Copies of this chain bind each other. A is one copy, B any other.
Amino acid sequence: MTKPTIRDVARLANVSISTVSRVMNAPNTVIRSKQERVLNAIDELKYKPNALARGLIYKKTNTLGVVIPDIRNSYYADIIRGMEDASKKLGYNLIICNTDHDRNRLFSYLSNFDERQVDGILFTSEPITPDYHKELKRLRKPVVLVSTHSLDYELPSVRINDEEAAYDAAKHLIESGHRSIGWIGFDLSDSIAGLPRYQGYIRAHRDFGLSIRQENIHLVSLWSDDSLDAAHRLFLQNPDLTAVFTASDELAIGLLCYLNERGIPVPEQVSVIGFDNIRMSRFTIPKLTTVAQPMYEIGYRSVEKLHARIEGAEDPILREYLPHELVLRSSTRALVE
Protein backbone atom coordinates (compact mmCIF):
# COMPACT_ATOMS: atom_id res chain seq x y z
CA MET A 1 0.00 0.00 0.00
CA THR A 2 1.33 3.40 -0.87
CA LYS A 3 1.36 6.32 1.54
CA PRO A 4 -1.70 8.59 1.28
CA THR A 5 -1.02 11.87 -0.52
CA ILE A 6 -2.53 15.30 -0.29
CA ARG A 7 -4.53 14.30 -3.38
CA ASP A 8 -6.18 11.40 -1.49
CA VAL A 9 -7.10 13.74 1.34
CA ALA A 10 -8.67 16.22 -1.08
CA ARG A 11 -10.65 13.47 -2.78
CA LEU A 12 -12.00 12.04 0.49
CA ALA A 13 -12.87 15.47 1.89
CA ASN A 14 -14.40 16.43 -1.43
CA VAL A 15 -12.42 19.66 -1.63
CA SER A 16 -9.64 20.88 -3.90
CA ILE A 17 -5.97 20.17 -3.21
CA SER A 18 -5.43 23.84 -2.61
CA THR A 19 -8.04 23.80 0.12
CA VAL A 20 -6.17 21.02 1.89
CA SER A 21 -3.02 23.04 1.49
CA ARG A 22 -4.77 26.11 2.89
CA VAL A 23 -6.05 24.16 5.89
CA MET A 24 -2.46 23.28 6.60
CA ASN A 25 -0.89 26.64 5.80
CA ALA A 26 -3.46 29.32 6.44
CA PRO A 27 -6.45 27.71 8.17
CA ASN A 28 -8.16 31.07 8.77
CA THR A 29 -8.82 31.40 5.07
CA VAL A 30 -10.94 28.22 5.00
CA ILE A 31 -14.52 28.04 6.28
CA ARG A 32 -15.12 25.90 9.36
CA SER A 33 -17.08 23.09 7.71
CA LYS A 34 -14.42 22.50 5.06
CA GLN A 35 -11.70 22.65 7.66
CA GLU A 36 -13.39 19.87 9.57
CA ARG A 37 -13.86 17.69 6.52
CA VAL A 38 -10.18 18.05 5.69
CA LEU A 39 -9.04 17.31 9.24
CA ASN A 40 -11.31 14.27 9.39
CA ALA A 41 -9.94 13.01 6.09
CA ILE A 42 -6.38 13.51 7.34
CA ASP A 43 -7.28 11.47 10.41
CA GLU A 44 -9.05 8.73 8.55
CA LEU A 45 -6.30 8.26 5.98
CA LYS A 46 -3.59 8.66 8.60
CA TYR A 47 -2.12 11.17 6.18
CA LYS A 48 1.27 12.39 7.35
CA PRO A 49 2.49 15.58 5.79
CA ASN A 50 6.28 15.43 5.94
CA ALA A 51 8.15 17.21 8.69
CA LEU A 52 8.84 20.23 6.52
CA ALA A 53 5.13 20.66 5.90
CA ARG A 54 4.32 19.90 9.52
CA GLY A 55 6.91 22.45 10.59
CA LEU A 56 4.96 24.99 8.55
CA ILE A 57 1.72 23.97 10.18
CA TYR A 58 2.39 23.21 13.78
CA LYS A 59 5.52 25.29 14.25
CA LYS A 60 7.02 22.50 16.31
CA THR A 61 9.60 20.14 14.88
CA ASN A 62 10.66 18.28 18.05
CA THR A 63 14.22 18.89 17.08
CA LEU A 64 16.95 20.66 19.01
CA GLY A 65 20.02 22.11 17.36
CA VAL A 66 23.37 21.71 19.10
CA VAL A 67 26.45 23.72 18.19
CA ILE A 68 29.78 22.38 19.37
CA PRO A 69 33.07 24.13 18.71
CA ASP A 70 35.32 21.07 18.43
CA ILE A 71 33.78 17.65 18.26
CA ARG A 72 37.26 16.06 18.40
CA ASN A 73 37.55 17.05 22.02
CA SER A 74 36.49 14.06 24.09
CA TYR A 75 35.05 16.48 26.63
CA TYR A 76 31.89 16.64 24.49
CA ALA A 77 31.39 12.90 24.28
CA ASP A 78 29.59 12.57 27.60
CA ILE A 79 27.84 15.91 27.27
CA ILE A 80 26.27 14.64 24.06
CA ARG A 81 25.33 11.38 25.76
CA GLY A 82 23.50 13.31 28.46
CA MET A 83 21.78 15.46 25.86
CA GLU A 84 20.77 12.37 23.91
CA ASP A 85 19.27 10.64 26.91
CA ALA A 86 17.27 13.69 28.00
CA SER A 87 16.14 14.25 24.40
CA LYS A 88 14.98 10.69 24.15
CA LYS A 89 13.01 11.08 27.36
CA LEU A 90 11.41 14.33 26.25
CA GLY A 91 10.75 13.32 22.65
CA TYR A 92 13.30 15.39 20.77
CA ASN A 93 15.79 14.57 18.07
CA LEU A 94 19.16 16.25 18.30
CA ILE A 95 21.04 17.62 15.37
CA ILE A 96 24.66 18.27 16.15
CA CYS A 97 26.83 20.73 14.27
CA ASN A 98 30.54 21.22 14.65
CA THR A 99 31.71 24.80 14.17
CA ASP A 100 35.43 24.20 14.46
CA HIS A 101 35.65 27.52 16.35
CA ASP A 102 34.82 29.23 13.09
CA ARG A 103 32.51 32.21 13.34
CA ASN A 104 31.25 31.80 9.78
CA ARG A 105 30.40 28.16 10.29
CA LEU A 106 28.61 29.03 13.51
CA PHE A 107 26.49 31.64 11.78
CA SER A 108 25.78 29.31 8.90
CA TYR A 109 24.56 26.61 11.28
CA LEU A 110 22.49 29.04 13.32
CA SER A 111 20.85 30.23 10.14
CA ASN A 112 20.26 26.61 9.16
CA PHE A 113 18.63 25.97 12.55
CA ASP A 114 16.44 28.98 11.92
CA GLU A 115 15.34 27.82 8.51
CA ARG A 116 14.68 24.29 9.70
CA GLN A 117 12.72 25.63 12.62
CA VAL A 118 14.41 23.72 15.37
CA ASP A 119 12.50 24.18 18.61
CA GLY A 120 15.54 25.37 20.52
CA ILE A 121 19.29 25.73 20.49
CA LEU A 122 22.00 24.33 22.75
CA PHE A 123 25.03 26.55 22.44
CA THR A 124 28.16 25.02 23.93
CA SER A 125 31.43 26.26 25.34
CA GLU A 126 32.08 29.49 23.53
CA PRO A 127 31.94 32.91 25.16
CA ILE A 128 28.93 34.99 24.12
CA THR A 129 30.25 37.96 22.19
CA PRO A 130 27.93 40.86 21.29
CA ASP A 131 27.54 39.65 17.70
CA TYR A 132 26.70 36.10 18.81
CA HIS A 133 24.15 37.55 21.17
CA LYS A 134 22.65 39.70 18.44
CA GLU A 135 22.32 36.68 16.16
CA LEU A 136 20.81 34.48 18.87
CA LYS A 137 18.34 37.25 19.66
CA ARG A 138 17.40 37.66 16.02
CA LEU A 139 16.49 33.96 15.82
CA ARG A 140 13.93 34.41 18.62
CA LYS A 141 14.34 30.82 19.71
CA PRO A 142 14.84 29.40 23.17
CA VAL A 143 18.56 29.01 23.81
CA VAL A 144 20.48 27.35 26.63
CA LEU A 145 24.19 27.92 27.05
CA VAL A 146 26.05 24.72 27.87
CA SER A 147 29.43 24.79 29.64
CA THR A 148 29.45 28.50 29.06
CA HIS A 149 27.42 31.39 30.41
CA SER A 150 26.97 35.10 30.04
CA LEU A 151 27.07 37.69 32.76
CA ASP A 152 26.27 40.45 30.25
CA TYR A 153 23.10 38.95 28.83
CA GLU A 154 20.06 37.29 30.33
CA LEU A 155 20.67 33.84 28.86
CA PRO A 156 20.01 30.59 30.72
CA SER A 157 23.08 28.42 31.22
CA VAL A 158 24.32 25.17 32.73
CA ARG A 159 27.95 24.73 33.72
CA ILE A 160 30.24 24.23 36.66
CA ASN A 161 31.91 27.04 38.54
CA ASP A 162 35.30 26.87 36.84
CA GLU A 163 37.00 29.32 39.17
CA GLU A 164 36.04 27.34 42.26
CA ALA A 165 36.90 24.03 40.64
CA ALA A 166 40.40 25.24 39.77
CA TYR A 167 40.74 26.75 43.23
CA ASP A 168 39.93 23.40 44.83
CA ALA A 169 42.53 21.55 42.78
CA ALA A 170 45.27 24.10 43.46
CA LYS A 171 44.31 24.16 47.15
CA HIS A 172 44.62 20.35 47.27
CA LEU A 173 48.17 20.56 45.90
CA ILE A 174 49.12 23.32 48.34
CA GLU A 175 47.64 21.44 51.28
CA SER A 176 49.63 18.39 50.16
CA GLY A 177 52.81 20.40 50.70
CA HIS A 178 53.51 21.60 47.16
CA ARG A 179 54.95 25.10 46.93
CA SER A 180 56.18 25.26 43.36
CA ILE A 181 53.18 24.48 41.20
CA GLY A 182 53.14 24.94 37.44
CA TRP A 183 50.07 26.02 35.50
CA ILE A 184 49.44 25.04 31.88
CA GLY A 185 46.25 26.81 30.95
CA PHE A 186 44.33 28.34 28.12
CA ASP A 187 44.63 31.85 26.86
CA LEU A 188 43.09 34.39 29.23
CA SER A 189 41.02 35.89 26.43
CA ASP A 190 38.91 32.75 26.76
CA SER A 191 36.40 33.71 29.41
CA ILE A 192 35.23 30.14 29.97
CA ALA A 193 38.09 27.65 30.19
CA GLY A 194 40.86 30.26 30.23
CA LEU A 195 40.40 33.12 32.66
CA PRO A 196 38.32 31.58 35.49
CA ARG A 197 40.52 28.50 35.90
CA TYR A 198 43.61 30.69 35.93
CA GLN A 199 41.92 32.90 38.55
CA GLY A 200 41.22 29.85 40.72
CA TYR A 201 44.89 28.84 40.55
CA ILE A 202 45.91 32.40 41.51
CA ARG A 203 43.38 32.78 44.34
CA ALA A 204 44.54 29.54 45.98
CA HIS A 205 48.13 30.83 45.94
CA ARG A 206 47.04 34.14 47.48
CA ASP A 207 44.90 32.47 50.16
CA PHE A 208 47.87 30.42 51.29
CA GLY A 209 50.32 33.30 51.10
CA LEU A 210 52.32 31.80 48.23
CA SER A 211 53.93 34.09 45.70
CA ILE A 212 52.96 33.68 42.08
CA ARG A 213 55.91 33.16 39.77
CA GLN A 214 55.45 34.09 36.13
CA GLU A 215 57.82 31.34 34.96
CA ASN A 216 55.44 28.76 36.44
CA ILE A 217 52.61 29.85 34.17
CA HIS A 218 52.31 28.77 30.55
CA LEU A 219 49.34 29.49 28.39
CA VAL A 220 48.44 27.75 25.16
CA SER A 221 45.89 28.87 22.68
CA LEU A 222 42.62 27.07 23.13
CA TRP A 223 42.35 23.56 21.65
CA SER A 224 45.91 23.64 20.46
CA ASP A 225 47.86 20.44 20.03
CA ASP A 226 51.04 21.82 21.56
CA SER A 227 50.82 20.38 25.06
CA LEU A 228 54.25 18.78 24.66
CA ASP A 229 55.74 22.17 23.78
CA ALA A 230 54.10 23.88 26.70
CA ALA A 231 55.40 21.20 29.07
CA HIS A 232 58.87 21.55 27.61
CA ARG A 233 58.91 25.34 28.02
CA LEU A 234 57.59 25.07 31.55
CA PHE A 235 60.28 22.66 32.77
CA LEU A 236 63.02 24.50 30.91
CA GLN A 237 62.20 27.65 32.88
CA ASN A 238 61.61 25.95 36.19
CA PRO A 239 63.04 22.44 36.58
CA ASP A 240 62.21 22.49 40.31
CA LEU A 241 58.44 22.23 40.01
CA THR A 242 56.96 19.54 42.22
CA ALA A 243 53.49 19.72 40.73
CA VAL A 244 51.70 20.88 37.59
CA PHE A 245 48.02 21.66 37.23
CA THR A 246 46.68 21.70 33.67
CA ALA A 247 43.43 23.27 32.50
CA SER A 248 42.32 20.09 30.71
CA ASP A 249 42.92 16.35 30.81
CA GLU A 250 44.18 16.42 27.24
CA LEU A 251 46.89 18.88 28.28
CA ALA A 252 47.68 16.61 31.25
CA ILE A 253 48.02 13.56 28.99
CA GLY A 254 50.53 15.46 26.84
CA LEU A 255 52.38 16.46 29.99
CA LEU A 256 52.54 12.86 31.28
CA CYS A 257 53.94 11.83 27.92
CA TYR A 258 56.59 14.58 28.09
CA LEU A 259 57.58 13.74 31.66
CA ASN A 260 57.89 10.05 30.80
CA GLU A 261 60.16 10.85 27.87
CA ARG A 262 62.38 12.96 30.13
CA GLY A 263 62.52 10.20 32.71
CA ILE A 264 60.81 12.38 35.32
CA PRO A 265 58.74 10.04 37.51
CA VAL A 266 55.08 10.88 38.23
CA PRO A 267 54.08 11.37 41.03
CA GLU A 268 57.45 10.72 42.76
CA GLN A 269 59.11 13.85 41.37
CA VAL A 270 56.16 15.72 39.88
CA SER A 271 52.46 15.52 40.71
CA VAL A 272 49.99 16.15 37.88
CA ILE A 273 46.35 17.25 38.11
CA GLY A 274 44.10 17.56 35.07
CA PHE A 275 40.69 19.07 34.55
CA ASP A 276 37.47 17.51 33.12
CA ASN A 277 37.71 13.77 33.92
CA ILE A 278 37.41 12.54 30.35
CA ARG A 279 37.06 8.81 29.80
CA MET A 280 40.74 8.35 28.97
CA SER A 281 41.90 9.81 32.27
CA ARG A 282 41.24 6.44 33.93
CA PHE A 283 43.70 4.74 31.60
CA THR A 284 46.70 7.06 31.69
CA ILE A 285 49.98 5.99 33.26
CA PRO A 286 49.77 6.76 36.11
CA LYS A 287 46.01 7.20 36.38
CA LEU A 288 45.17 10.87 36.36
CA THR A 289 44.03 12.91 39.35
CA THR A 290 41.62 15.45 37.96
CA VAL A 291 38.78 17.87 38.61
CA ALA A 292 35.68 16.05 37.42
CA GLN A 293 33.02 17.99 35.61
CA PRO A 294 29.63 16.23 35.59
CA MET A 295 29.58 16.23 31.79
CA TYR A 296 26.70 13.81 31.39
CA GLU A 297 24.60 15.78 33.87
CA ILE A 298 25.48 19.09 32.19
CA GLY A 299 24.21 17.73 28.87
CA TYR A 300 21.13 16.18 30.42
CA ARG A 301 20.20 19.21 32.47
CA SER A 302 20.70 21.55 29.49
CA VAL A 303 18.06 19.72 27.49
CA GLU A 304 15.64 19.72 30.43
CA LYS A 305 16.21 23.42 30.86
CA LEU A 306 15.70 24.11 27.16
CA HIS A 307 12.54 22.01 27.20
CA ALA A 308 11.18 24.12 30.06
CA ARG A 309 11.81 27.26 28.01
CA ILE A 310 10.19 25.79 24.91
CA GLU A 311 7.12 24.76 26.89
CA GLY A 312 6.99 28.05 28.74
CA ALA A 313 7.31 26.19 32.05
CA GLU A 314 8.68 27.63 35.27
CA ASP A 315 12.46 27.66 35.45
CA PRO A 316 13.45 30.00 38.23
CA ILE A 317 17.26 29.66 38.04
CA LEU A 318 18.75 31.49 35.08
CA ARG A 319 22.39 30.46 35.53
CA GLU A 320 22.80 26.97 36.94
CA TYR A 321 26.06 25.68 38.36
CA LEU A 322 26.45 21.93 38.79
CA PRO A 323 28.90 20.57 41.36
CA HIS A 324 32.45 19.59 40.42
CA GLU A 325 34.50 17.00 42.27
CA LEU A 326 38.19 16.36 42.83
CA VAL A 327 38.96 12.78 41.77
CA LEU A 328 42.14 11.53 43.40
CA ARG A 329 44.00 8.88 41.42
CA SER A 330 47.70 8.04 41.18
CA SER A 331 49.28 11.05 39.48
CA THR A 332 49.55 13.13 42.66
CA ARG A 333 51.16 12.62 46.04
CA ALA A 334 51.64 14.54 49.27
CA LEU A 335 55.12 15.95 49.86
CA VAL A 336 56.83 15.07 53.09
CA GLU A 337 57.97 18.45 54.32
Residues of A participating in the B interface, judged by any CB pair closer than 8 Å: 6, 16-19, 21-22, 25-26, 29, 50-56, 63, 71-72, 74, 77-78, 80-81, 84, 88, 93-98, 100, 105, 108-109, 112, 114-117, 253-254, 256-257, 260, 279-280, 282-287
Contact = CB atoms under 8 A, between A and B. Distances in A.
Given A71-B80, A253-B280, A95 B96 contact: yes
Contacts of A74: 72, 74, 77
Contacts of A29: 16-18
Contacts of A114: 50
Given A18-B19, A51-B115, A109 B93 contact: yes
**Nearest 7 pairs of A and B residues by beta carbon:** A51-B115, A72-B77, A95-B95, A52-B52, A96-B96, A18-B22, A257-B283
Contacts of A88: 105
A95 B100 CA distance: 14
Given A17-B29, A50-B115, A256-B283, 13 more contacts: A21-B26, A51-B52, A51-B116, A52-B53, A52-B55, A56-B56, A72-B74, A80-B98, A84-B98, A93-B108, A254-B283, A260-B285, A284-B285
Contact of A21 (B21, B77, B112, B257): B21
B78 A72 contact: yes
A51 B21 contact: no
Nearest to A114: B50
Contacts of A55: 52
Contact of A285 (B95, B105, B285): B285
A60 to B, nearest CB: 12
A207 B19 CA distance: 73
Contacts of A6: 25-26
B26 A22 contact: no
Contacts of A96: 71, 95-98
A234 to B, nearest CB: 17
Nearest to A26: B17
Given A88-B105, A96-B96, A97-B95, A117 B50 contact: yes
Nearest to A16: B29
Given A96-B98, A287-B257, A53 B51 contact: no
A215 B94 CA distance: 44
A94 B55 CA distance: 20
Contacts of A26: 6, 17-18, 21
Contacts of A105: 88
A296 B52 CA distance: 32
B98 A279 contact: no
Given A93-B108, A257-B285, A53 B50 contact: no
